[in-house]
Amino acid sequence: MTKKIFLLPFLSLLIIPFMTVSAAAPFDGKLIALDAGHGGSETGAVNATYGVQEKDVNLAVALALRDKLVAAGAQVFMTRTTDETISSRKNRVAAVNDQCIAAGGRKCDVLVSIHHNGNSSSSHDGTLTIYNEKQDVALAKAMHDALLPLTGQDEGYLNGGYGMTVYEHLVSTLTEAYYITDDSEAQQYLAGTRIGEEVDAQFAGLSAYFIAKASGGGKGGGRPH
Ligand SMILES: [Zn+2]
């Protein structure tokens, strides 16, 4: 009896630190590639009422997300940090992956390509997430679950296979957190509130992904909805 009483607190001392390390610091040493979609002469979607261009929203989110991830211990590599025209999507991903390999001796752990959707209606909103391969499903689902509350309108996480996600066989996803063509979204962007809300959601999604992966989940599988 005395043995059991003594052993339990001792075991918890051993186990608890291992559990809290991965949950408290999921970004330690992670190599994360962020792609701000479009750029330069390629504007992406444009809000007809306010003239807000998708390329600028993508970049603002990517830069702020980078800062938040770096502060949390990740190494972050960007496909662009300015309003730069894409010469080649394939080359952009190859270049960012080369940076991961140079810094960490391995391919990027994840690539998130940040986009915002476009529609001919100025009042259509929703959250959509795209992935390319089976290995991407866990990441896509984690990001989608985190981003969906931004609009509350679920357009699913779907197997699409386009954009940056098709190159270098990286675990990757393309996020369309909301429609920048939606006037209320453009208003929130211009008011300065929307970027921070999305960055928090992107960060939460990545955090959930790495925590699940560290605990043995996040291996993919399942079906998109
Ligand atoms: Zn786009």
Spatial CA neighbour of 99 closest among 58, 132, 140, 66: 66
- Dist CA 50 CA 69 (whole Å): 30
Going from the Cα of 50 to the center of ligand 1, the distance in angstroms, rounded, reads: 17
Ligand 1 center–CA 120 separation, angstroms = 14
> Any idea what the CATH number is for the domain that residue 111 is in?
3.40.630.40
State how many domains the chain has.
1
Ligand 1 centroid from CA 7, angstroms: 56
Judge whether 12 lies within some domain: no
Domain hosting 48: range is: 27-214
Quick check: is 5 in a domain?
no
CA 39 to ligand 1 center in whole angstroms: 10
Q: Is residue 39 part of a domain?
A: yes
**What is the three-class DSSP state of 159?**
strand
- pLDDT tens digit sequence for 34-76: 999 999 999 999 999 999 999 999 999 999 999 999 999 999 9
d(CA 143, CA 205): 4
Measure 211 CA to ligand 1 centroid, in angstroms: 28
pLDDT tens column, 165-206: 888 899 999 999 999 999 999 999 999 999 999 999 999 999
- Spatial separation of the C-alpha atoms in residues 128 and 116, rounded to whole Å: 9
The CA 5 to ligand 1 mean position distance, Å, reads 59
Instruction: Establish if 222 belongs to a structural domain.
Output: no
Q: Taking the model in full, what pTM does it have? A: 0.86
